[in-house]
Structure 1
Amino acid sequence: MQFTPILMRKAVLKGIVLFVFCISNANAQSLPAEEIYFLIKDAIFFTDKYVTPATDAAVYQAASGWVSTPKKANLWDFKVGLHGNVFFVPQSDRSFRLSNSDLSFFRINQEGVESALTPSTLGSDQYIELIGELNGSPVSLRTPEGIDREVVFYPYLQGAVGLWYGTEIVAKFSPMIKLKNVDYQVYGLGLKHNLSQYFPSLEKRNLHFSVLAAYSKEDLTVNFLDVETAYGNLGLNALNSLIDTWQFQVNASKEFKRFELSTGFIMNTSDFEYKVNGPKGEIEKITPLQDILNGQLKSIARTKFNGIGEISGRYQFHHFYIQQTLAFGKFVNSNTALQYEF
């Protein structure tokens, strides 16, 4: 008999839950291991559907606006910019359909209703009620709401310093941005190298080319499943997503006196990891639910590749520049910057 990877993963999870229960239930009070297994299974399924649109969007927001200009930077040239990033939330990523057939522990708490549209992290402030039963006692919850916005705005600072041989080091940092039900932060470091310096004929025609390699960290925390039971809170109130993104891009530009028009193509790969954090629930006195769930959340960790187009216009007045950038692919992201060049 052959096992598929999915069946093997389910068997391993069930085995882990049973093992942990055998060694942790030294007190008189205990819970059925199979019910905990089904509860964790539902939590993992819901996590994947609920938070994935937000983590995908976070990568797009962090990818845009790295290159202010492909032009060669001179040694110790320094510029700093205040950026305002606007992400347009697509309708298709604001909700997902949740069915009773998807769930093992919970069911939709509405008679005769087998499925319902449920907000993702990027969705509305609506919710549905789910109900289950733990050791004969009812367990109910409201699914978490979304940010309830059609556009997401966040500001950040970006600076660059010219190094040797037409190379430039670029850094970006945003404060922790608090939206409804979501906290978000991004920071990163990159190296840009000018290529057109090797072709004087291109520079004479005000044509510039560059490449950039960058790393960024996106940190996203959402309000998650506030579940009360007869055994206390389950401690699943906050879900943290950590995203490591490696990015490579090529850019080209043409100068028209004070105006510069640039295009670029971005390729990045992102590693997604998820972890329930925050205070542990009272149920931990019976079983280490948070640790078990965090171990199983590794099953939905993944790596994704994105190809993103970018176009921008940059206008100079004295030592200031104003730049508008538009990134497009699966999503559309707009970035406006006011820069000062020392």
Structure 2
Amino acid sequence: MRRSVWVRSGIIAIFLSVCSASAQTEQTVQELNNLIDDAIFFTDKYITPATDAAVYQAASGWISTPKKSNLWDFTAGLYVNSFLVPESDRQFRLSNSDFSFFTIEGTDSALTPSALGNDAFVTLTGTLNDEPVVVKSPEGVNRETIIYPYIQTALGLWKGTEVIAKFSPQITLKHVNYQVYGVGVKHNLSQYFKGLDAHKFSIAALAAYSKEDITVEFLDVETAYGNLGFTALNSLIDTWQFQLNAAKEFARLELSAGLILNTSDFQYEIQGEKGAVEAIVPLHSIVNERLREIYKTKSNAIGELSARYQFRRFFLQTSVAFGKFVNSNISLQYKFK
């Protein structure tokens, strides 16, 4: 009789232990879901100004001149791009009401830098499986002007058509890596209107595709399960662009104006070494799938003005693109014959 009581007591103890472990696991999974919700919200606020800016940086400078090119004319140029970071895109406001998992340490609301912001930060705290989680929000590039170089080439084909390619090496700014490359086709339109050529007017249209690749240092989340592996956030942007430019020559000086219309698709992916929490839940895969919620497509209308001066086979050019942002570049080009 006593042995039977002990057996029943043992079974009950095991059952209660299993139920307790199951409840604890369920609580942990819910806490992770809340953490993911907060990470998605924060990602959108933090990275969007930088990705919007990247589109502007990639959009300008494609047409060095709308003049008709001759077959096999080849021009190569070194460009230096300069992007002015607007004050309004350098930070955003966080409130505790925005979060399900985190709270802002010491306050209910705070300004925190975007990827284009300064090196300030806020501390976010939460609890995962009854263990504290403390995260420092990511910092920005801490620059008022972002400058980077790139190479652009143009090759003349038949009937006033040119193929254009641009490429920048990967640029490392503070907490941010950036790269852009693309290809376009320009066609001269003024060749069909003889009166325009006679008065030194030229018009051209461009269709182009570019890829912008941005990786930022992100959320370094340490937990009882180890680091969650959110240490880097990558954004890939596919931009399709149409552009119309017109120019007037004054001896060696050419002044031009253009209208740029583009559409960009934005995608995001968390990168970093996976933590031990992956044994409970495939966190990386879940987060990257959830990031699809903030994938977006945006369109821009951008104006562009430029001036190009020729001396022998060299050309010195400066241009400015304007709309939501202001982006400028200066280049030195050489035309091979």
Relative to the length of structure 2, the TM-score reads 0.92
Alpha-carbon offset, residue 30 of structure 1: 7.3
What aligned pairs does 1:310-321 form with structure 2 within 5 A after superposition? Answer: 310-321=304-315
Q: Does the 8 Å contact 2:225/2:275 carry over to 1? A: no
Counterpart Cα distance in 2 of 1:231 and 1:171: 47
1:202-244, Cα deviation, whole Å (9 max, x unpaired): 0000000000000000000000000101110000000000000
Q: 1:172 aligns with which of 166, 169, 181?
A: 166
1:303-332, Cα deviation, whole Å (9 max, x unpaired): 000000000000000100000000000000
Identity, in percent, stands at 63
1:176-209, Cα deviation, whole Å (9 max, x unpaired): 0000000000000000000000011100000000
Q: Does the 8 Å contact 1:221/1:240 carry over to 2? A: yes
Q: Which amino acid aligns with 2:57?
A: Q
The residue number in structure 2 matching 1:83 is 79
Q: Which amino acid aligns with 2:153?
A: G
Q: 2:128 aligns with which of 131, 134, 152?
A: 134
1:54-97, Cα deviation, whole Å (9 max, x unpaired): 00000000000000000001000000000000000000000000
Alpha-carbon offset, residue 32 of structure 1: 2.0
Q: 2:253 aligns with which of 256, 259, 271?
A: 259
Question: Does residue 1:304 correspond to 2:298, yes or no?
Answer: yes
Relative to the length of structure 1, the TM-score reads 0.90
Q: Which amino acid aligns with 1:88?
A: L
Gaps of 5+ in 1: 1-24
Counterpart Cα distance in 2 of 1:43 and 1:151: 28
What RMSD in Å do the two structures reach over aligned CA positions?
1.3
Q: Does the 8 Å contact 1:247/1:268 carry over to 2? A: yes
1:91-147, Cα deviation, whole Å (9 max, x unpaired): 00000000000001000011xx21000000000000000000001111010000000
The number of residue pairs the alignment matches comes to 315
Counterpart Cα distance in 2 of 1:280 and 1:200: 64
The residue number in structure 2 matching 1:93 is 89
Q: Which amino acid aligns with 2:92?
A: F
The residue number in structure 1 matching 2:46 is 50
Q: Does the 8 Å contact 1:74/1:162 carry over to 2? A: yes
The residue number in structure 2 matching 1:244 is 238
Q: 1:33 aligns with which of 29, 52, 64?
A: 29
Question: Does residue 1:216 correspond to 2:210, yes or no?
Answer: yes
Alpha-carbon offset, residue 281 of structure 1: 2.1
